[in-house]
């Protein structure tokens, strides 16, 4: 075969430092973002905080939210392996480079004004129920998610999950592994892994094939993590017969992964939050704007910028690097603000019925619908709706509250889980306390309203809004 040169045009996505920074900033809450910006200003002389423009946005009063403790379970085996790597000077997870990450709300507490705290389990279940899966696959996924600890690791074997599904669902191991592979790529990427090696391989899998050091990083993650921790990168390079540059690229890539992806989603929530966006009705039309103070305003320090080209070579090189980083950060902040506003506006367009008439008018809404409308990826919508809050005339809610799975009703439309929960609450509030409504009776009343919902589903929704069973609600006086 005669050798020849060919020109081929291809497209690929490379996770550049700028893109990683934008992804990381998008998933931060407003409190975390403020801390991040303060640290950036302290470390970069080319950055400075700008005063808030008079009249910008609306006032952003502090809104109360409910805080609930969540029990956490640690994976000892993985923690020991991670700690071994963390203690190795060649493999410091605390590097400044951002880590790679990919982000129905049945647990909303109360109808107005407060948003439920979120933990990893709730975050994964929310994504699972918004996925286009069969009821059988969702049931399998729920059992898998319940077996994932706070670090993001799967504590049970597929065989144990298979037994836990019985007698309701008889699933083979292939079905369980198929759903598990889908969960691996939920936000944050890497959850549900068996161990550290598996976790890193999942995160490496989503990168572009032309990412520098990818092939060697996969090999190290799969076979040589222990050797890297014990011997260091130089000895491992000699063992694998690769150059120092190649091993440094691979190790840097591994360091950018997250060894405990579950910790990105914390159940810890401040007692009070400031809304990121505000929805108001003006001349009969719903409008959305950024809340005042929700978007940090930073700029380039002109004094240090004017020194570029005038300082010594070493200082000039440093200032140019800091200027580039400052511009990246400002651009990433602008992108974050624009994405949040677009997502909030899309939510208000879809859920205007809720704003007008309350929870009973909430329509089913998925991440995919908003993603398709805005031309963004579902994972981007997930990040933009997690720990971001929207103030409305009906109260302040987390963005994700407006996303909910639905049940088809008799007229061919759909009713969201939130709307059904609201209807159940109203029926219970109006019941005779001496003869409370059973779950079966609640299901019959909902069916009469055109919502064919099973008794078991009624029980699930009732428990989600913290309403006791009929025997617990019964009162004699």
Q: How confident is the model at residue 112 (pLDDT cuts 50, 70, 90)?
A: very low
Sign of CA dihedral 6, 7, 9, 12: positive
Predicted local confidence at residue 13, as pLDDT: 54
Residue 157 has pLDDT above 70, yes or no: yes
SS3 labels along the chain: CCCCCCCCCCCCCCCCHHHHHHHHHHHCCHHHHHHHHHHHHHHCCCEEECCCCCCCCECCCCEECCCCCCCCCCCHHHHHHHHHHHCCCCCCCCCCCCCCCCCCCCCCCCCCCCCCCCCHHHHHHHHHHHCCCCHHHHHHHHHHHHCECCCCEECCCHHHHHHHHCCCCCCCHHHHHHHHHHHHCCCCCCCCECCHHHHHHHHHHCCCCCCCCHHHHHHHHHHHHHHHHHHCHHHHHHHHCCCHHHHHHHHHHHHCCCCCHHHHCCCCCCCEECCCEEEEEECCEEEEEEECCCCCCEEECHHHHHHCCCCCHHHHHHHHHHHHHHHHHHHHHHHHHHHHHHHHHHHHHHCHHHHHHCHHHCCCECHHHHHHHHCCCHHHHHHHHCCCEEEECCEEEEHHHHCECEEECCCCCEEEHHHHHHHHHHHHHCCCCCCCCCHHHHHHHHHHCCCCCCHHHHHHHHHHCCCCCHHHHCCCC
The predicted structure's pLDDT at residue 363: 85
Q: Would you say 366 and 403 are in contact if contact means Cβ atoms under 8 Å apart?
A: yes
Mean predicted confidence (pLDDT) in 355-362: 85
pTM over 0.85: no
The pLDDT score that the predictor gives to residue 215 is 92
Strand 63-64 to strand 47-49: parallel, antiparallel, or no bridges (unpaired)? unpaired
In this prediction, residues 113-134 reach a mean pLDDT of: 77
* Span of 211-225, 250-264, 401-415, 427-441 with lowest mean pLDDT: 401-415
Closest C-alpha to 262, from 91, 72, 84, 96: 72
In terms of Cα–Cα distance, which of 266, 223, 127 is closest to 184?
Answer: 127
Of 17-26, 180-189, 408-417, 437-446, the least confident: 408-417
Band of pLDDT at residue 100, cut at 50, 70 and 90 = very low
Q: d(Cα 128, Cα 131) in Å, to the nearest integer?
A: 5
CATH 1.10.10.60 assigned to domain 405-473? The reply is yes
- Asked if the model's pLDDT at residue 127 lies above 60, the reply is yes
Of 106, 65, 120, 24, the residue nearest 383 (C-alpha): 24
pLDDT by residue (tens digit) across 243-286?
A: 988 998 999 899 889 888 988 886 555 456 789 999 999 988 99
Count the neighbouring beta carbons within 10 Å of the beta carbon of residue 344.
25
- pLDDT category at 12 given cuts 50, 70, 90 is low
CA distance 315 to 453: 69
Instruction: Please give the average per-residue pLDDT across 212-230, as a whole number.
Output: 89
Asked whether residue 371 carries a pLDDT value surpassing 70, the answer given is yes
Residue 14 pLDDT more than 70?
A: no
Domain residue spans of the chain: 23-51+273-359+366-401, 76-264, 405-473
Q: Which pLDDT score, from 0 to 100, does residue 293 have?
A: 81
1 bridge partner residues: none
- 321 contacts: CB under 8 Å, gap ≥ 6: none
| Residues 409, 407: Cα–Cα separation, whole Å | 6
Q: What is the mean pLDDT of residues 141-152?
A: 90
Listed in sequence order, the residues at least 6 apart from 183 whose beta carbon sits closer than 8 Å to its beta carbon are: 124, 128, 141, 144, 145, 148, 191, 192
Q: Which residue has the higher pLDDT, 115 or 19?
A: 19
- The pLDDT assigned to 70 comes to 32
What is the mean pLDDT of the segment spanning 319-330? 92
Do 426 and 358 contact (CB within 8 A), yes or no? no
Look at residue 457 and tell me whether its pLDDT is greater than 60. yes
Mean pLDDT of the chain: 80
**pLDDT value at 407 more than 80:** no
């Amino acid at each position: 075969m005669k050798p020849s040169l060919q020109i081929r045009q291809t497209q690929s996505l490379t996770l550049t430092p700028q893109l990683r920074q934008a992804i990381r900033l998008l998933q931060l809450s407003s409190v975390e973002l403020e801390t991040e910006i303060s640290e950036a200003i302290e470390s970069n002389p080319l950055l400075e905080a700008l005063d808030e423009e008079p009249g910008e946005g609306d006032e952003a009063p502090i809104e109360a939210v409910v805080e609930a403790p969540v029990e956490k379970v640690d994976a000892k085996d993985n923690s020991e392996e991670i700690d071994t790597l963390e203690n190795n000077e060649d493999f410091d997870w605390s590097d400044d480079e951002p880590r790679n990450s990919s982000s129905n709300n049945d647990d909303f507490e109360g109808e107005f004004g407060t948003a439920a705290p979120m933990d990893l389990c709730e975050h994964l279940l929310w994504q699972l129920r918004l996925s286009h899966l069969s009821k059988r696959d969702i049931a399998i996924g729920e059992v898998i998610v319940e077996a994932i600890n706070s670090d993001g690791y799967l504590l049970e074997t597929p065989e144990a999950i298979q037994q836990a599904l019985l007698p309701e669902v008889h699933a083979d191991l292939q079905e369980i592994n198929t759903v598990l592979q889908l969960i691996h790529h939920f936000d944050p990427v890497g959850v549900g892994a068996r161990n550290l090696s598996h976790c890193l391989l999942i995160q490496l899998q989503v990168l572009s094939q032309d990412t520098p050091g990818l092939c060697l990083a996969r090999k190290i993650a799969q076979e040589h993590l222990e050797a890297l921790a014990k011997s260091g990168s130089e000895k491992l390079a000699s063992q694998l017969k690769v150059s120092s540059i190649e091993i440094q690229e691979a190790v840097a890539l591994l360091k950018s992964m997250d060894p405990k992806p579950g910790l990105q989603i914390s159940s810890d929530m401040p007692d009070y939050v400031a809304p990121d966006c505000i929805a108001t009705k003006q001349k009969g039309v719903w409008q959305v704007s950024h809340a005042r103070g929700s978007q940090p305003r930073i700029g380039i320090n002109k004094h240090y910028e004017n020194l570029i080209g005038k300082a010594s070579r070493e200082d000039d090189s440093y200032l140019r690097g800091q200027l580039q980083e400052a511009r990246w950060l400002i651009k990433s902040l602008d992108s974050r603000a624009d994405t949040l506003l677009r997502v909030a506006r899309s939510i208000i367009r879809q859920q205007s019925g809720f704003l007008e008439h309350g929870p009973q008018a909430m329509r089913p809404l998925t991440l995919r619908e908003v993603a398709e409308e805005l031309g963004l990826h579902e994972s981007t919508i997930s990040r933009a709706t997690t720990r971001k809050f929207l103030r409305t005339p009906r109260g302040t809610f987390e963005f994700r509250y407006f996303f909910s799975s639905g049940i088809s009703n008799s007229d061919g439309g759909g009713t969201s889980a939130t709307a059904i929960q609201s209807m159940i609450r109203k029926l219970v509030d109006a019941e005779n306390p001496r003869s409370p409504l059973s779950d079966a009776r609640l299901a019959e009343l909902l069916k009469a309203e055109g919502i064919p919902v099973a008794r078991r589903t009624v029980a699930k929704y009732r428990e989600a809004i913290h309403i006791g069973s009929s025997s617990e609600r019964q009162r004699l006086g």
